[in-house]
A and B are shown apart, each in its own frame.
Chain A
Amino acid sequence: MKLLLVDDSRFSRVTLMKNLKEVIGSEHTFLEASSGEEALPLFEQENPDLIFLDYLMPGISGEDVLKKIRSSNNSCFITVLTSNYQKPVIDRLLELGANLFIQKSINKEKITTIMDAYNHFRAMEE
């Protein structure tokens, strides 16, 4: 499985990756991008299965990244991370094609839930 972690905070990425590895093991491909600008070409090139996308980033925002990816690709599972919990934002993001929306305090339980959702999503596809 190929995972792409997009967050401008290195601390956030590292924490997320650490949690991810503890839950799903480290035998996957973990890609990192520190901005929307970095994420988009990396997405084109690597075509990841699962994306963790920070909502608030400088430059190309998480929302823009989401729009851009969804304009050409529907098979990638996109989880939007944010510590902002506002219903209109969630509504808009889900409308734009985000598969999941999670609040940013990441822990193993949340990762497990996300992975369950991901597997379910893949199962539904088949």
Chain B
Amino acid sequence: MVSLIMDRKPTNAKDFLSNSRKLLRVAKSKLKGFTKDQNFETIESINSLFQTLRESSFYFNFDEIENLLNKSESFLFVHCSDPKALDSTHIELLINICTLLQEMFKQQENKGQNDGLEEKTEKLIQQLEHQITELQDLPSILDPSSHEQSKTTPFDPEMLDLFISESFERLEDAEENLLLMETAGQDSKQNDFLKTCFRQFHTLKGNANLIGIQPLEWLMHSAESLLEGFSNNRQIIKGDHYRILLKTIDVFRQALTSLSNYQKLTTLESQNIQLQTSIISDLLITENIDIDYSSALDDDQDKIYLESSDSENDFIDISKTLNSEKQPTIGVQAVKQKDIRIGLEKLDQMVNLVGELVTVTNIISHQTHIQMSEENDFSQFVNQLQQVSNEIHEQTMSMRMVPIANSFRRMSRLVYDISKKSAKQVSLTMSGENTEIDKTLVELIADPVLHLIRNAVDHGIEIPAERIAAEKPPTGNIHLQASQIGNEIWIIVRDDGKGLDREKILKKARKNGLIDPSLTPPDETIWKIIFEAGFSTAKEISALSGRGVGLDIVKQNLDKLSASINIESQKGIGTTFTLRFPLTLAVIETLLVKIEDNFFSIPLVNMIECVELKKADIEKNHERQIARIRGELVPYIRLRKIFEIEGKSPDIEQIVVVEYNQQKIGLLVDQSLNKHQTIIKSLGKMYAEVENFSGITILGDGKISLIIDVNNLIKNCIEKEAIITNNY
């Protein structure tokens, strides 16, 4: 590898090698004459030398040299912020590095044999790593501006949390605006996006400074300077620049994650931040942008300017002219706050407690009719209690609601990334981002939506040439829409691609035995097949999708959320996926049914209707578990048998008809009671293996009802062949 490149650029490499050795010699002599007074400059110069050498080594593919330099830089990085901490061991280490580098360069120059250099390198790298980690453990290195605080705890945990969560929000906004900027191109709007992005970087810089994380402050400072440079010089921003800025956001995010996990930056994160900062700094140089170091460097200076009419100077340094006076105390304390942040854990606890309250209220209201004659007023109070507890419940649930926008924003980055990777041009538009959904739902829907978008880019949107041939604009569009309809949240993913290929899907489905070859099912049935496990029509397996593990996972996840999916597709025009989620996860509408003395709840989302089944009907069908409902044959499952409940079924039973995979299936129960709003409680870890139930709910009279997981139940029955179905 090395020799190949050397052959291609023989002179360059040779010049580089001999120059490098010269530079290293100078650096060594500087280090040898090192005194503490002029330390900063020396270290700075060594640092920049290492940086240049590393980049060139990278260019010439001198991997080992690059690696060593990388480590050396990290080592210097932690030292640069506090050169006073340098002692003779460190200097000696640096001199050793220089010597080793000289030897390594010489070896490259002569293309000579390895004479124990590897061993030496390894040893030095170990030493460096040791030094780096040792230093990283001292938070004061990373936090030189607030020594008093760092002695005990590096950061006030509450402030750190606030910093982290706000930074995440700002990064998302910056990311969104960066992406918009690129889409806008030379549009006049581009400047607005640039300004917003600049402002976010600026605030992030300020906040990093406030909390005392200098590397992040520097990173944001360089990013900010880059944007400022673009805006001032009216320069055209290239694709590379966006990539670097997006990468910067990623690096910051990773740093935040590490901060929230370890309360400090890990060595790796510090290195990444430093590297990213240097990448931007290099870009600033190549783009001829002057970086204003003064605003980031002058941490220790108190820059305060006072407007004063009685002074001849425009500015006076007030710290010198004013004496501190007695502090005034007027007014009373009244802190105004518009909103507060509540931890999700606390809120979950609250939701649980309110759930209990509602349950207890229901129990009491159930009891009152017995005691009503004795204490007539009591029922009135119970009614009130019920009303209040219902309202509290509603309010508490609404606290869990957050706008879906956060989840959507991530998607624009995704589309950006994948359209860069594939040869397709894709834009993402959105509507209804302000729709509020349950906080837990935000996390859970992200994955299915992400898969659908990936799928749309990979299978839906055509390459530009194909699109032009089909008289479509070369850039494909994916529209993401959220809305609240009744008790559901609808999320629509619509692409203007080539649409689903009916014949292709049908062929494949028949081949894989997913469909009976003699049947020609309607479009809707065929579209649903793409969600079956092991189905993928992609000719080539790409990195994005097409491994046949995409969409069936979507379906599984959606089932877990008791969500449904609907597909519409027209050849040449595009495909629309409509996801329908229940508004909140904790409360669902169910039908309460009874078998002997046991109560069960069937979610209404699954249910179609409820019909009677007489003994005579069963006999008519020769005991086969099939009922004729308005001329249609519906197979049913005798829940009494599945749940192994002893006793004799009544003469008239009830069939609860539910939908499963586009097919009607009946669940046979003794009695269907009433619809009710159910607060789901999980079965707990002990019963995690129980497959047929998704949770329990406590009824008005304190009895327990198991909530049936309809999809899983039917699936299990089909597997055990406990049900006769048409096409399975």
Contact = CB atoms under 8 A, between A and B. Distances in A.
B318 A117 contact: yes
Contact of A32 (B146, B302, B336): B336
A86 B232 CA distance: 14
B196 interface: yes
Interface string A1-22: 1100000111110110010000
B305 interface: yes
B166 A10 contact: yes
A46 B334 CA distance: 12
Contacts of B335: 30, 32
B305 A104 contact: no
Interface residues of B, number: 51
Contacts of A14: 159, 162
Contacts of A23: 327
Interface stretch (B205-213, B477-485, B616-624): B205-213
Nearest to B341: A10
Contacts, number: 150
Interface string A110-121: 101111110110
B1 interface: no
Contacts of B310: 124
Interface residues of A, number: 56
A28 B331 contact: yes
A29 B332 contact: yes
B interface secondary structure, majority: loop
A34 B203 CA distance: 13
Given A27-B332, A31-B336, A116-B323, A12 B210 contact: yes
B325 A85 contact: no
B660 interface: no
Interface string A87-107: 000110010011111111111
Contacts of A106: 210
B288 interface: no
Contact of A28 (B292, B294, B329): B329
B299 interface: yes
Contacts of A124: 310
B294 A1 contact: no
B329 A29 contact: no
B241 interface: no
Contacts of A27: 329, 331-333
Given A1-B330, A122-B328, 7 more contacts: A11-B159, A28-B331, A31-B336, A84-B202, A101-B307, A105-B206, A110-B302
6 contacts: A11-B167, A12-B206, A58-B199, A84-B202, A94-B314, A116-B319
* Those 6 A-B pairs whose CB atoms lie nearest each other, nearest first: A103-B303, A101-B305, A83-B206, A94-B307, A85-B295, A116-B322
